[in-house]
Structure 1
């Protein structure tokens, strides 16, 4: 019977060879095998090895709080290349995470690719396919006709290619084969079988393990505890022991790197929603309330980080918590997604899918709409969410954003109209813009496109932009203002605050006055139409 080695984190680090490609399963602080990564950093500090590693991260490893995740490896000489869907973000006024300092200084080659594509690349490597053909990223900074996902001048020019198949353009990402996969679970038995009962998501652990194992590599699993061989329920095992070569026990492993175990996040109990903290009345809450008006009861809706994450909590406040099924890229389906740096998990989820499988839903457009944040919007409707010049470390990168917008039937971008110090009061059912932000987010051309407005129009997607003072739509003739907030002057506060001319709808109307009041709004969502075949059946039976 197979029995993996049980090692300390420092011993596991000795398994890493110079030049290895290491794939890490994590999502910021969620599911991060931090002890093993710390062990590799400890070995390098002691021995100056291993050297020249390439690391793969479908979603970031580590978060903004201290030296965690990839920052254990962010040392010149240890790290040669990083390929990641996202990177740890940090506050704008604090020292950037180590990995960002290395990227900015040109001390490491670095690519930023869509998270879903990176998961698919692992599946391609596991099944010995040459790579991934996808439309995800076309027209964005990932497109090699722009930057090809390169994050600095030290990074080689060519990785992604544009290919034509049957008269259509596709991006081609060649397979990357990992030598080592570092994954995380809750329990390992003596045969290496892994269960994830206290994890908020399996993320892509199985796919990473397959990719390394099938190509002759090693799989190192960090767990919280060991169990007797054969004592784990086969139905609960998410990674079979035949794939696991070494186990590292980290008994103080938390559910995320910042939060202890919460059974309502891992689906082991349901917590009363009254236990959730209410969202304070603010300008951001006003924006989230208006975005909620884009929803329908029965919708399946994807959700991104930022202001958009407030929308589920607005629905809770309006007694509409079950009206919408939320799907987030880390794997939760249903429930109420949490906020800030616990984003990525949900309280009371209906299901917890592998992140790699969740991206199959998202890339295929199997949902009704997505709510996402933005940094900049330009005259073509293109959006930048990943690149803040001079402060790139404040952002996390593309993550699953490009995967999600590639096929979403409807996209709702949510954020403030301007940036910087400002004084905008929510007063008497409307806005009072006393001092506006000095920087408009509606710019002539975005610094780097994460989303292409031209491609969205060609695909027939409905795109809406919700801000505190105006709602706009992307139309073939241009970006068009369809609603303005009570108290807002259209010319002074909207049109003159855009760096390019905005169109104004002939049916311009006021945003709902009730969203600007501190009390509940009485929101009611129209019902989503049934599937066309269900509707036809009901019509026939009637």
Structure 2
């Protein structure tokens, strides 16, 4: 609706867009609704890859643009809500988020410093500066007549509570889209993640607008409503990425707590299910799932058969504190000394996502990639990988 209004009237203009995880599917959805010159003036994001129009504006030096660690941004919501001076953390030191290496700025027209190097008790830390949030658009499941909202039919609570609090305490407006409105007081209070006292407006969306994931209808296995047999999860075809995933799975220690990144690493969950070893490890995803089988594609962030589904920011508390035994992550470029780039390459702005939060704190990290540029052609025959080009 905002995109349509901008096309028709030229307003709203000069917005600042603030998000942690990826928004969209590289097809005009999600964050790309804001990807028009003049509509946004500044974007502060964690994972940019799902919104290529925004990335193009940043790379063309047409908007102010920052890439900050995804987990840090989830914690910024909480600190903005609490009116703290900012988010103080070790995450991002010595990376491009460090002000000594650019402070997360993505282009020349981005001037304001959002990250500051500080010293506390003789130790270096980064201070990520917060700012007021004027409007917040959230997704809920059901709302009651008092504005209380659940997220029990979503893949997780994500950051809805912290974002609503940050906006409310900034004097802003909180707008929540839901599937339906029910009688006041009829919702289980333990399911309410957005109290009505935070909410300014409720919008009832269409069936299409309320898809659980982009293009995907509701699946109760992703919310904990029911469990599905592991053998009901379809096997993935043998290709280069599956071969990478099978090799990476050999690095799994017994009873490990694991994080899987996007791309090739997300297929490790399928391999573990196919090999019947899912119960020998605990797979986790940034979005908040503990255990189960993480999904990929437009359902990345969701997991079937989870044992628990935490808030996005709470999951990153655990990650940043070193709770992961091993992380499997993708890569775009690597230098001989081991330096890695996953965020900006060629004409594509992917953003670091949770890469920095995870790699700086996991006990072991395994990188998965083909070490090729565009043009690789492969096929699999007789259980072997054949490089065609």
The TM-score bracket by the shorter chain reads over 0.9
1:277/1:167 Cα in 2 relative to 1: closer, same or farther (>3 Å)?
A: same
1:318/1:56 Cα in 2 relative to 1: closer, same or farther (>3 Å)?
A: same
1:256/1:425 Cα in 2 relative to 1: closer, same or farther (>3 Å)?
A: closer
Normalised by the length of structure 1, the TM-score is 0.68
Distance 2:7 2:381 in 1: 57
Cα drift, residue 277 of structure 1: 1.7
State which of 136, 142, 148 in structure 2 corresponds to 1:193: 148
Partner of 2:12: 50
1:146/1:227 Cα in 2 relative to 1: closer, same or farther (>3 Å)?
A: same
Distance 1:75 1:288 in 2: 37
1:122/1:414 Cα in 2 relative to 1: closer, same or farther (>3 Å)?
A: same
Distance 2:246 2:296 in 1: 16
Distance 1:203 1:127 in 2: 18
1:376 equivalent in alignment to 2:330: no
Cα drift, residue 210 of structure 1: 0.6
Cα drift, residue 427 of structure 1: 7.6
State which of 129, 149, 174 in structure 1 corresponds to 2:129: 174
Q: CA offsets per residue over residues 66-110 of structure 1, 9 Å max, x none? A: x322222222222111111112437xxxxxx32223223222111
Q: CA offsets per residue over residues 214-233 of structure 1, 9 Å max, x none? A: 23221111111111111101
Distance 1:303 1:322 in 2: 16
Partner of 1:363: 320
Q: CA offsets per residue over residues 382-439 of structure 1, 9 Å max, x none? A: 11111112x214x3x111111111211111111123334346677888777676xxxx
Q: CA offsets per residue over residues 263-293 of structure 1, 9 Å max, x none? A: 1112111112222221222232222112111
Partner of 2:3: 41
Query: 133-142 or 198-207: which moved more?
Result: 133-142
1:107/1:422 Cα in 2 relative to 1: closer, same or farther (>3 Å)?
A: closer
1:282/1:42 Cα in 2 relative to 1: closer, same or farther (>3 Å)?
A: closer
- 5+ residue gaps, structure 1, are 1-38, 91-96, 436-542
**Any idea what SS the aligned residue of 1:403 has?**
helix
1:433/1:213 Cα in 2 relative to 1: closer, same or farther (>3 Å)?
A: closer
- 5+ residue gaps, structure 2, are none
Partner of 2:63: 108
1:400 equivalent in alignment to 2:372: no
Larger radius of gyration: 1
Normalised by the length of structure 2, the TM-score is 0.94
1:78/1:299 Cα in 2 relative to 1: closer, same or farther (>3 Å)?
A: same
Query: 171-180 or 97-106: which moved more?
Result: 97-106
Does the CA contact (< 8 Å) of 2:22 and 2:49 recur in 1?
Answer: yes
**1:101-500 paired onto structure 2 within 5 Å:** 101-156=56-111, 158-252=113-207, 253-389=210-346, 391-393=347-349, 395=350, 397-422=351-376
**Any idea what SS the aligned residue of 1:45 has?**
helix
Distance 1:61 1:267 in 2: 23
Does the CA contact (< 8 Å) of 1:225 and 1:251 recur in 2?
Answer: no
Distance 2:359 2:238 in 1: 30
Does the CA contact (< 8 Å) of 1:148 and 1:157 recur in 2?
Answer: no
**Any idea what SS the aligned residue of 2:55 has?**
helix
Does the CA contact (< 8 Å) of 2:332 and 2:371 recur in 1?
Answer: no
Distance 2:252 2:205 in 1: 43
Partner of 1:489: none
Distance 1:167 1:372 in 2: 32
**Any idea what SS the aligned residue of 1:238 has?**
strand
Distance 1:59 1:239 in 2: 19
1:89 equivalent in alignment to 2:44: no
**Any idea what SS the aligned residue of 1:118 has?**
helix
1:425/1:214 Cα in 2 relative to 1: closer, same or farther (>3 Å)?
A: closer
Partner of 2:29: 68
Matched residues, number: 387
